[in-house]
Amino acid sequence: MQNHDRETIILQWKRFIAGNEVDQSSIRPEILESWHYSKNKGIDINSRVAYHHNTDFLLERSQELITAAQPFMKMINEVIAGSGLRIDCIDFEGYFLCACGDPALLQESEHNGFVPGCNVSMDVLGTNAAGLCLALQQTTQVIGPEHFNVHLHNLNCSATPIFTPDAELVGVLNILSYATPQNRQTLGLTTSIAKAIENQLALNRTVTSLKVSNSELETIIEYLPQGVIALNSSGKVVSFNRKALELFAISPKANAGRRCRELEKILHSKQLNTRSKIHTEKEHTLSINGKKKSFIINVHSIENGARTLVMIEDSGRIMSLSATQSNRTSYTFGDIVGSCSEIVKARELASMVSATDSSVLLIGESGTGKELFAQAIHAASDRSKSPFVAINCGAIPADIIESELFGYEPGAFTGAREAGKPGRLEAASGGTLFLDEVEAMPLSFQVKLLRAFSSKSMVRVGGIGEIALNLRLIAASKVDLLEEVNQSRFREDLYYRIATFPIQIPSLRERAKDIRLLTMHFLEQISNEYSRQSIKADDNFYEALVSYSWRGNVRELRNVLERAVVLGLDMDILTPDQLPDTIRKAWMTNGIKQRTRASRSGGESENESLLQLAEHAAIAMVLEEEGGNISRSARRLGIARSTLYQKLDAAPHLLNVR
């Protein structure tokens, strides 16, 4: 800055302080604006720096910045020694953290109060490079009398903001000098150092993140339910987790070298030989302390063969996990809706038997809710926290049903998985096995199933060792199993084994009084599924449902109601118009029958034939439903308007419905 420039700025500063008009062309806009800010904040031009009461707190919270900045400040300190420059590191609130530079200048600055903990923000000192840099978040230079505080008029400062990798302002790097002038090169120097600090911040965070990730990974591996062993390219064990030692019965107290040697001995044995090739989910039977144990082994090559990762899992745990995942009961006795005597009796019997381990046979047509009953029995039993495994016997091909239910050993047949496979009976052990459509089970397999239930044990396909079973059996059939026995399509001994406690589940036709209750229950469910307010239906809608025969039972009712809701999404109340034609025709037919019976029993039109009565009943019912509209009524009756007028002229008593 030239002397005349300095004098001009001093003059303008004095005019500003005195409240006089300032020549704006003589002062940089950001400086003038900051003077106004300082004056409006009531800052005294003679004020001294303020200090934070807890310097240790300031240094601790900015430790990340200080750690990144100090190496560069130490390096630059050697360059600027004797130059009359001082470099300050300042935090995001304007608090002074640390400094380096010319020793004489450091001593003088400290004498003036510029020590760790002092505050140089705009709110304390008014216009200064560090404070303005924080406010603008951009590189700033304030020379001599551009400072608002008169005690800073002998200072020259250049400041650059420091940002974290997340673009968060974390501090400022400030170069300060008294006699030494500052220029663009000084500003470039502070910018370069600040950028270097930002890069170091990013690097430090990356290193810290990698350390944390590595620590997390080590912790995860250590507590995995599987054993994990890493081998180098020579087959030597380089790391392992505690589960690997546990599975192979190796003492964790043995020294590291011995543990590695014992693991290598097992891994490179003829039974396993992890050097042979990469494989996944392969079952191996190994001798551990003289006892045969089965493991699922996964071997993976990583880093182009530099490492081999071996994953070991106890086969028994996999079976247990598979069984647990099968435990998907979602219904209880509270979900069995109905008040008619037949359904109440069935619910009471099911509730009674749920407290025992007796085999239950559920008998009922398709769609009556047999699996709902089975799940409710399981949920109310002592086995409720154990697996519920459902099998539809009619959906499994006869040639694979044995391997599906009993499982198989590795290599038991062509196409078998290398690791073998546990069967559904094993998965259900400890819980409940539900055999739906049990009547579809092949006769050739029934005797094997009977033996498994009777002996409470089974043998996998291709195996020789018996596996103990502890399960509760619930079977379901849509036909009369005793008749199947009489026709030699079902084994009598198996029937009596599974039918210890038979329960008859009524069809929907037998519980017509429950249709309204069930409909309200399902409409509430469907309303929730479609995020709608509770869906209602008019009386005709319910009457139409009661008129239908419901071959598909409760399942068909649920589907019909969902269809009606979809068709009536923009309606507040459902009507028969949203029902299928088959149900509406059944409703109309039923209405005609009722009107015809009423006419005959009431002695109306004694001279009319039964056919005429039925025709008149149909016309009267349609006219009533259509509000007397002739065109719509004729269309529904399937006749011309003129024909309908002729019939009304012949039977004037029908006109009173209009």
| Segments making up each domain of the chain, as ranges | 3-205, 223-318, 326-504, 508-579, 584-657
Q: What is the 3-state secondary structure (H, E, C) of 306-373?
A: CEEEEEEEEHHHHHHHHHHHCCCCCCCHHHCCCCCHHHHHHHHHHHHHCCCCCCEEEECCCCCCHHHH
Burial of 562 (0-12, 13-18, 19+ CB in 10 A): middle
| Model confidence at 321: pLDDT above 60 | no
Contact 99, 89 (CB under 8 A): yes
Contact 34, 127 (CB under 8 A): yes
The tokens for 214 are 């590595």
Determine the Cα–Cα distance for residues 583 and 413; give it in Å rounded to an integer: 52
Assigned CATH class of 326-504: alpha beta
Determine the Cα–Cα distance for residues 387 and 193; give it in Å rounded to an integer: 65
Contact 550, 556 (CB under 8 A): yes
Three-state SS at 639: coil
Share of the chain above pLDDT 70, in %: 85
The helix-helix angle for 553-567 and 515-529 (nearest 10°) equals 50
Q: Compute the Cα dihedral for 199, 180, 141, 41 and give only its sign.
A: positive
Determine the Cα–Cα distance for residues 205 and 71; give it in Å rounded to an integer: 16
Residues in a beta bridge with 90: 96, 172
Amino acid identity, residue 15? Answer: R
Amino acid identity, residue 546? Answer: V
Q: How many helices (H) and strands (E) does the chain have?
A: 25, 23
Tell me the HSE value of 159 on the side-chain side, using a 13 A CA sphere: 31
The whole-number pLDDT of residue 276 equals 52
Determine the Cα–Cα distance for residues 430 and 383; give it in Å rounded to an integer: 7
Determine the Cα–Cα distance for residues 361 and 479; give it in Å rounded to an integer: 11
Q: How far is CA 71 from the centre of its chain?
A: 46
The tokens for 351 are 């509730």
Question: Which residues are CB-contacts of 454 (< 8 A; sequence separation ≥ 6)?
Answer: 497
The tokens for 403 are 């391997």
Contact 127, 147 (CB under 8 A): yes
What Cα–Cα distance (Å) separates residue 463 from each residue in 282, 320, 404, 454? 17, 19, 14, 19
Same CATH fold assignment for domains 3-205 and 223-318: yes
Residues in a beta bridge with 435: 391, 475
What Cα–Cα distance (Å) separates residue 106 from each residue in 77, 82, 87, 439? 12, 11, 9, 97
CATH topology of domain 508-579: Helicase, Ruva Protein; domain 3 (1.10.8)
The whole-number pLDDT of residue 325 equals 45
| Model confidence at 40: pLDDT above 90 | yes
Burial of 434 (0-12, 13-18, 19+ CB in 10 A): buried
- Which pTM value belongs to this model? 0.50
Q: What is the 3-state secondary structure (H, E, C) of 453-478?
A: HHHCEEECECCCCEEECCCEEEEEEC
Q: Which secondary structure element, helix H or strand E, spans residue 141, and what is its range?
A: strand 140-143
Contact 160, 139 (CB under 8 A): yes
| Model confidence at 344: pLDDT above 60 | yes
The whole-number pLDDT of residue 201 equals 94
pLDDT tens-digit profile of 634-653?
787 777 777 776 666 656 55
Amino acid identity, residue 538? Answer: D
CATH topology of domain 223-318: Beta-Lactamase (3.30.450)
| Model confidence at 18: pLDDT above 70 | yes
The whole-number pLDDT of residue 297 equals 84
The whole-number pLDDT of residue 654 equals 58
| Model confidence at 563: pLDDT above 80 | yes
Mean pLDDT (whole number) for 80-84: 79
Mean pLDDT (whole number) for 196-208: 93
Confidence of residue 1 (pLDDT cuts 50, 70, 90): low
| Model confidence at 59: pLDDT above 90 | yes
Determine the Cα–Cα distance for residues 448 and 461; give it in Å rounded to an integer: 12
Q: How far is CA 653 from the centre of its chain?
A: 67
Which residue, among 493, 470, 504, has the nearest Cα to 357 in the 3D structure? Answer: 470
Which residue, among 614, 631, 632, 623, has the nearest Cα to 655 in the 3D structure? Answer: 623
Residues in a beta bridge with 95: 119
- DSSP conformation class of 535: P
What Cα–Cα distance (Å) separates residue 544 from each residue in 40, 148, 264, 483, 497? 81, 89, 75, 35, 43
Which of 140-149, 381-390, 589-598 is the least confident region?
589-598
The whole-number pLDDT of residue 450 equals 93
What Cα–Cα distance (Å) separates residue 161 from each residue in 118, 170, 174? 18, 8, 9
Contact 338, 518 (CB under 8 A): yes
pLDDT tens-digit profile of 451-509?
999 999 888 888 877 888 899 999 999 999 999 999 999 999 999 999 999 999 999 99
Tell me the HSE value of 111 on the side-chain side, using a 13 A CA sphere: 6
What Cα–Cα distance (Å) separates residue 371 from each residue in 360, 507, 522? 12, 14, 17
Mean pLDDT (whole number) for 289-306: 77
How open is the CA angle 452-499-374, to the nearest 5 degrees? Answer: 90
The tokens for 600 are 């005959």
pLDDT tens-digit profile of 244-280?
888 888 888 888 889 998 888 888 876 566 555 555 6
Scored b (16 or more CB within 10 A) or e, 439-468 reads bbbeeebbeebbebbeeeebbbbbbeeebe
At the second CATH level, the architecture of 3-205 is: 2-Layer Sandwich (3.30)
Quote the mean pLDDT of the chain.
84
What Cα–Cα distance (Å) separates residue 356 from each residue in 291, 352, 449? 37, 8, 22
Contact 626, 633 (CB under 8 A): yes
